[in-house]
């Protein structure tokens, strides 16, 4: 393959398609703005040129919380000056008016100044999660219990809890905010549910609590350490038909959205699933012949190839080949243009291939820029440990690779099992040279390669079709996959659990 000329040819033709990809990739992010609705706060960060630095989501929330609730120092200056004057007037004159003014200002200082300070002393938080793992688009219920050392009335408590997706380049965070009155009890329990979750690792570090008074003069801010985390495994939305229902549980199946309205049919998604299933089923067939080795039976020689001057080859049958599938996920940052959801869709399609291969009893090897993960097959055909460890590793992947995956595999010299199939999942449709090198490397080791390219375009552009023709001319089958419509939905926090859905 003349890879260098091919990449140079599609570079100019793909300029318009690249702009379309970037614009389409930002459609879901443009609506991901900050909103406050019924005490629920969702902090969204744009990608691309508006990408937020690491850790900036949490800092922005802290500044926002401090900006809404803050101590009114000017008012306290006036109150303090009035209280001093009233005390002085009481000592000098001792009239009823002076005593009344001193008593009122003293009451304000005690209830609005000392009460929040006492109520904020000794605050602790205990967080519990209903599950440690869920699937793409799933939900997790969170229970947060605040404990106080003293029961102080006439104060209110504002709470902000946030989890940040560490597998996201933009460090996307979901925040929950609520305000409640502190009654005469030492414990207060808040429950909320995170829905439509994105793939990745979601840790909790601390809880931001603000204790204020009934006049709004004082706000005591505290950060209470309470660590926890959950992992959202990769997959596709509405995953009941691809085997994620057991991981997500019956919570999504019983949600109001799924009960009241059926899911719209996705013809392109169904076609993509069929292509992946067919590719996994064909894994292990390998080439029909291999070079002759000493000791091979003469009955299996390919005499036609020998008669044509191609040398001696031994015919092999598909049943003799081990059923081995290599799942390769491209995590190069240049392949996704900082579009986290495009990368999530790519990993979700790869997760489908992993599950289908495991269901067929194949030995699956996950290839990434960081190395490989293998699930071995026992003699009885059962997978050792299942695919949970592999899916968990896929959940932690980030699109932050610097080099090309094809170059790293060739450079490190990964040994591929002859007769296997490499299924490559990527969004880099312009990297013809890289995929050509990988296809040549796989062919040298007796493996075949199929390329699955995920795109936001509803129809492949002219440059994309030309690239497909060039790759298929070199023996690489190309299949276009699409970002499922369900991935455009934003995650959000909802107060209460499943029992409060219709409240």
Looking at per-residue pLDDT, the higher value among 284 and 430 belongs to: 430
- Residue 402, pLDDT > 60, answer yes
- Residue 228, pLDDT > 70, answer yes
317 falls in which pLDDT band (50, 70, 90)? low
Confidence (pLDDT) at 230: 94
Find the radius of gyration of the CA atoms of the chain: 31
What is the architecture of the domain spanning 267-286+321-483? 3-Layer(aba) Sandwich (3.40)
290 falls in which pLDDT band (50, 70, 90)? low
Q: What is the pLDDT averaged over residues 302-325?
A: 66
Q: What is the pLDDT of residues 1-42, one digit of tens each?
A: 444 344 444 444 443 444 344 444 443 333 333 333 333 333
258: tokens are 């799924």
425 falls in which pLDDT band (50, 70, 90)? very high
Q: Report the sign of the C-alpha dihedral through residues 195, 200, 201, 207, in that order.
A: negative
Residues pairing with 377 in the sheet: 383
Looking at per-residue pLDDT, the higher value among 355 and 434 belongs to: 355
Q: What is the pLDDT averaged over residues 355-380?
A: 66
Confidence (pLDDT) at 103: 94
C-alpha triplet 373, 374, 378: angle, nearest 5°: 160
266 falls in which pLDDT band (50, 70, 90)? low
- 216-225, 319-328, 351-360: range with highest mean pLDDT: 216-225
Q: Domain ranges in the chain? A: 32-262+491-503, 267-286+321-483
- Residue 166, pLDDT > 80, answer yes
Of 324, 326, 306, whose CA–CA distance to 315 is shortest? 306
Cβ atoms of 240 and 253 closer than 8 Å:
yes
Q: Percent of the chain having pLDDT more than 70?
A: 69
Place of tokens 């289908």: 356
Q: Lowest-confidence range among 227-236, 273-282, 388-397?
A: 273-282
- Residue 477, pLDDT > 50, answer yes
Looking at per-residue pLDDT, the higher value among 418 and 229 belongs to: 229
Q: What is the pLDDT averaged over residues 166-182?
A: 87
- Residue 140, pLDDT > 90, answer yes
Residues pairing with 40 in the sheet: 37
Of 242, 319, 247, whose CA–CA distance to 277 is shortest? 242
Per DSSP (E only), the strands in 25-172 are 35-37, 40-42, 124-129, 133-135, 140-147, 155-164
Cβ atoms of 272 and 482 closer than 8 Å:
yes
Provide the CATH topology of domain 32-262+491-503.
Immunoglobulin-like (2.60.40)
Q: What is the pLDDT of residues 106-136, one digit of tens each?
A: 999 999 999 999 999 889 999 999 999 999 9
Confidence (pLDDT) at 9: 41
- 62-66, 159-163, 367-371: range with highest mean pLDDT: 159-163
Q: What is the pLDDT averaged over residues 151-161?
A: 89
Of 367, 440, 432, whose CA–CA distance to 397 is shortest? 367
Residues in the chain: 503
Confidence (pLDDT) at 221: 92
Crossing angle between the packed helical segments 462-473 and 15-25, to the nearest 10 degrees: 110
Whole-number mean pLDDT of the chain?
74
Confidence (pLDDT) at 25: 41
Confidence (pLDDT) at 270: 77
- Provide the whole-model pTM: 0.71
Q: How far is CA 346 from CA 6, 41, 155, 399, 428, in A?
A: 24, 29, 49, 11, 11
Confidence (pLDDT) at 334: 84
């Amino acid at each position: 393959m003349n890879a260098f000329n091919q990449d140079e040819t599609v570079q100019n033709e793909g300029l318009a398609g690249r702009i379309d990809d970037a614009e389409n990739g930002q459609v879901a992010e443009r609506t991901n703005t900050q909103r406050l609705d019924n005490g629920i706060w969702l902090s969204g960060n744009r990608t691309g040129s508006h990408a937020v630095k690491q850790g900036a989501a949490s800092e922005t929330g802290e500044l926002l919380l401090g900006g809404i609730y803050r101590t009114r120092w000017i008012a306290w200056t006036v109150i303090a000056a009035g209280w001093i004057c009233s005390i002085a007037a009481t000592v000098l004159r001792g009239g009823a008016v002076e005593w009344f003014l001193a008593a009122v200002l003293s009451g304000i200082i005690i209830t609005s100044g000392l009460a929040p300070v006492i109520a904020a002393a000794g605050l602790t938080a205990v967080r519990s999660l209903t599950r440690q793992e869920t699937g793409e688009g799933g939900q997790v219920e969170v229970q947060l219990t605040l404990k106080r050392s003293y029961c102080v009335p006439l104060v209110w408590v504002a709470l902000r809890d946030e989890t940040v997706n560490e597998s996201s380049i933009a460090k996307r965070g979901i925040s929950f905010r609520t305000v409640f009155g502190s009654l005469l009890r030492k414990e207060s329990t808040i429950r909320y549910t995170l829905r439509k979750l994105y793939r990745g690792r979601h840790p909790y570090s601390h809880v931001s609590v603000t204790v204020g008074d009934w006049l709004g003069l004082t706000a005591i801010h505290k950060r209470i350490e309470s660590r926890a985390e959950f992992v959202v495994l990769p997959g596709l939305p509405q995953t009941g038909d691809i085997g994620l229902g057991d991981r997500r549980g019956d919570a999504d199946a019983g949600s109001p959205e799924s009960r009241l309205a059926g899911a719209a049919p996705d013809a392109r998604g169904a076609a993509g699933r069929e292509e992946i299933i067919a590719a996994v089923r064909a894994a292990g067939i390998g080439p029909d012949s291999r070079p002759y080795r000493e000791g091979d039976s003469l009955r299996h020689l390919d005499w036609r190839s020998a008669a044509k001057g191609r040398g001696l080859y031994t015919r092999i049958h598909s049943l003799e080949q081990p059923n081995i599938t290599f799942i390769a996920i491209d995590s190069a940052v240049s392949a996704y243009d900082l579009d986290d959801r495009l990368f999530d869709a790519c990993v979700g399609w790869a997760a489908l291939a992993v599950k289908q291969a495991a269901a067929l009893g194949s030995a699956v090897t996950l290839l990434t820029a960081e190395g490989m993960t293998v699930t071995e097959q026992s003699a009885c055909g059962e997978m050792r440990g299942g695919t949970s460890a592999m899916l968990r590793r896929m959940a932690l992947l980030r699109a932050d690779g610097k080099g090309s995956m094809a170059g790293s595999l060739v450079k490190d010299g990964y040994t591929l099992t002859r007769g296997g199939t490499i299924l490559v999942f990527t969004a880099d449709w312009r990297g013809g040279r890289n995929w050509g090198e990988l296809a040549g490397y796989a062919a040298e080791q007796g493996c075949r390669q199929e390329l699955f390219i995920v795109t936001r375009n509803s129809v492949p552009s002219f440059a994309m079709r030309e690239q497909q023709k060039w790759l298929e001319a070199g023996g690489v089958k190309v299949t276009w996959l699409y970002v499922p419509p369900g991935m455009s939905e934003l995650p959000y926090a909802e107060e209460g659990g499943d029992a409060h859905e219709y409240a």
